Amino acid sequence: MNSATPLLEVEGLRKSFAGVHAVDNMSFSVAHNTITGVIGPNGSGKSTTIDCISGFQRPNAGRIRLDGRDITRLTPQKIAKAGLIRTFQTVHIYEAMTLRENLLQAARPFQASGWVADFLRLPGMRREVDAAMVRADELVDMIGLRKYYDAPTRILSYGQKKLVALAAGLMPKPRLLVLDEPVAGVNPTRIREIEEVILNLHAAGESFIIVEHNVEFVMRLCERVIVFVGGSKMTEGDPKSVQQDARVLEAYLGIPA
Ligand SMILES: Nc1ncnc2c1ncn2[C@@H]1O[C@H](COP(=O)(O)OP(=O)(O)OP(=O)(O)O)[C@@H](O)[C@H]1O
């Protein structure tokens, strides 16, 4: 797609639960090579929106396009293969496996060769495995955890586990990685480390959407911030303009605009 096509376009998204609209008329777009933050008070539709764009919920209406391709209502697996991967609020990694094994495992669903090629160690499979090893090697350095590469991930701190989940999401080289609350429950020192890692990955060409309750973290990291209120987009802009928007203060603090 040409660079004028947004990386992600969400248009008129609606998702209802038992007749109640969790998300309604939600529209926004995300540019290539950006870190975009999504903030909003509790119940504003953040989780429902990312569940819809990643295929974990089926929207009732609206369109979602990834780099121009319609991905509305595809399964999570197909959306991931199209290039949109998400992490979860709770860390989804294999704690009994090493960090290296976690990263290699994350690449497997995206490898074209099937189990027969794998079993027979055919050259196509070998090439894919070698490429995954190179990618894992790059990523373990990017997240600063090389000394734990061959350790079971259960020994890592919660913040380090979040970094492993982030790196696992990047293994198949997605076009866009959606991070669902990447610093929730993480101590402040580790938050700074995660911030640094995301900035370095962005400088290396990765694009992110960050959905977070920690507004300060989002404002420091993101070049564009989208604010959800009541199931739709209330406003968006650069961090400074969003922070100065009286409606945002009202939505968060109940201070009348
Ligand atoms: N499975 C569900 N069944 C019924 N209502 C739901 C369901 N999921 C979400 N909702 C409702 O939809 C609205 C939006 O919820 P959502 O979880 O998307 O908001 P959120 O911005 O992610 O909130 P939080 O920041 O608290 O996680 C809320 O009113 C919520 O109660």
| Cβ of 19 below 6 Å from ligand 1 | no
Q: Choose one of 23, 42, 52 to mutate for the ligand 1 pocket test, by most ligand atoms within 8 angstroms of C-beta.
A: 42
DSSP secondary structure string for all residues of 190-224: HHHHHHHHHHHHHHTT--EEEE-S-HHHHHHH-SE
SS3 of residue 83 by DSSP: coil
pTM equals: 0.90
In the reported structure, the alpha carbon of residue 142 is separated from the centroid of ligand 1 by a whole-number distance in angstroms of 34
pLDDT per residue over 25-44, tens digit each? 999 999 999 999 999 999 99
| Cβ of 47 below 6 Å from ligand 1 | yes
In the chain, where does DSSP find H-type helix? 46-53, 76-82, 99-107, 115-120, 123-142, 158-170, 188-203, 215-221, 239-243, 246-253
Higher pLDDT, 247 or 138: 138
| Cβ of 43 below 6 Å from ligand 1 | yes
| Cβ of 227 below 6 Å from ligand 1 | no
Shortest-distance atom of ligand 1 to CA 47: 22
pLDDT of 122 reads: 62
Please name the residues in contact with 5: beta carbons below 8 A apart, sequence gap of 6 or more: 67, 68
Confidence class for position 85, pLDDT limits 50, 70, 90: very high
- What's the chain's length in residues? 257
pLDDT of 52 reads: 97
Shortest-distance atom of ligand 1 to CA 89: 27
pLDDT of 221 reads: 95
d(CA 39, CA 245): 13
pLDDT of 113 reads: 62
Shortest-distance atom of ligand 1 to CA 51: 18
| Cβ of 46 below 6 Å from ligand 1 | yes
> Which of 17-40 are b and which e, b meaning 16 or more Cβ less than 10 Å from the residue's Cβ?
eeeebbbbebebebebebbbbbbb
| Cβ of 214 below 6 Å from ligand 1 | no
ipTM of this complex:
0.96
Is 121 a residue whose pLDDT tops 90? no
| Cβ of 45 below 6 Å from ligand 1 | yes
pLDDT per residue over 184-234, tens digit each? 999 998 999 999 999 999 999 999 999 999 999 999 999 999 999 999 999
| Cβ of 158 below 6 Å from ligand 1 | no
**CA proximity to 190, closest of 143, 124, 122:** 143
Domains annotated for the chain, with CATH where assigned, are 1-83+174-257 (3.40.50.300), 95-171 (no CATH)
Is 81 a residue whose pLDDT tops 60? yes
Question: From atom 2 of ligand 1, which residue's Cα is the shortest distance away?
Answer: 17
pLDDT per residue over 123-145, tens digit each? 666 777 888 999 999 999 999 99
Higher pLDDT, 190 or 89: 190
pLDDT of 69 reads: 96
